[in-house]
C-alpha cells in the first residue's frame, strides 16, 4: 500500500496489521505491506509512536495501532519536508534531522535517556528504551544495562 497516496486510510491500515504476528519494525519495513519505509524512517516512526521495535504486532493495543498509523503519516510528511528543505541531490541520503536513527549512545531528544541499538531481523534498530518500552515482558530491561558507546556496544 502506498503510504503517501489517498488509499492509505486507517481502515486499510487496520486490516493490514490486525492479524500480523511479526515485530512492529519488520511490519513497518515490509514493502509488500507498506511502500517506501526504509531503516531510518522505520526507527523514526516507531519513536514517534512510542513503540519498541521488537514488539510483535499482535501485542499492539488499538491505541498503539492508531499511534503507529498517525506516526507513519506524520514522520513521512516531516521527512519529505526536511529532505526538500535540504535541497540536496536525490541520490544523497539526508539524515541530519533524524532523532534516533544512528544516535546510539546519545541522549534521547525527548527524555534524555541513552538511545540504544538492537538487531531486528538482521538490521540495526535505534530506539529510546524509556520512550519506547518493551511492554511484552520478553525483552531486556534496558534501564539496568550500562550506557552504550556511540557504536551501540558496551561503554568502555
CATH number of the domain at 10-141, please?
A: 1.10.8.50
Task: Decide if pLDDT at 148 tops 70.
Answer: no
Q: What confidence tens digit (pLDDT) does each residue in 16-28 have?
A: 999 899 999 999 9
Q: Pull the grid cell for residue 100.
A: 534516533
Task: Decide if pLDDT at 51 tops 80.
Answer: yes
Q: What is the pLDDT of residue 88?
A: 77
Q: Which residue has the cell 488509499?
A: 7
Task: Decide if pLDDT at 151 tops 70.
Answer: no
Q: What is the pLDDT of residue 155?
A: 52
Q: What is the pLDDT of residue 136?
A: 78
Task: Decide if pLDDT at 156 tops 50.
Answer: no
Q: Pull the grid cell for residue 90.
A: 536525490
This prediction has a pTM of 0.84
Q: What is the pLDDT of residue 17?
A: 96
Q: What is the mean pLDDT of the chain?
A: 88
Which residues 6+ apart lie within 8 Å of 14 measured at CB? Answer: 65, 69
Q: Which residue has the cell 514517534?
A: 48
Mean pLDDT computed over 38-64: 96
Which band of pLDDT confidence, cut at 50, 70 and 90, is reported for residue 116? very high
Alpha-carbon 98 to chain mean position:
11
Domain range summary for the chain, segments of one domain joined by +: 10-141
Measured CA to CA in angstroms, residue 16 lies from 22, 52, 76 at distances of 12, 19, 19
Amino acid at each position: 500500500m502506498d503510504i503517501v497516496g489517498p488509499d492509505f486510510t486507517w481502515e486499510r491500515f487496520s486490516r493490514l496489521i490486525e492479524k500480523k504476528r511479526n515485530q512492529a519494525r519488520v511490519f513497518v519495513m515490509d514493502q509488500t505491506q507498506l511502500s517506501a519505509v526504509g531503516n531510518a524512517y522505520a526507527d523514526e516512526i516507531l519513536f514517534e509512536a512510542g513503540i519498541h521495535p521488537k514488539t510483535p504486532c499482535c501485542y499492539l493495543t488499538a491505541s498503539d495501532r492508531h499511534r503507529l498509523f498517525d506516526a507513519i503519516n506524520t514522520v513521512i510528511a516531516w521527512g519529505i519536508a526536511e529532505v526538500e528543505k535540504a535541497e540536496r541531490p536525490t541520490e544523497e541520503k539526508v539524515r541530519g534531522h533524524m532523532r534516533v536513527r544512528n544516535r546510539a549512545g546519545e541522549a534521547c531528544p525527548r527524555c534524555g535517556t541513552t538511545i540504544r541499538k538492537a538487531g531486528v531481523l538482521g538490521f540495526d534498530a535505534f530506539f529510546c528504551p524509556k520512550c519506547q518500552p518493551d511492554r511484552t515482558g520478553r525483552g531486556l530491561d534496558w534501564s539496568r544495562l550500562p550506557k552504550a558507546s556511540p557504536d551501540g556496544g558496551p561503554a568502555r
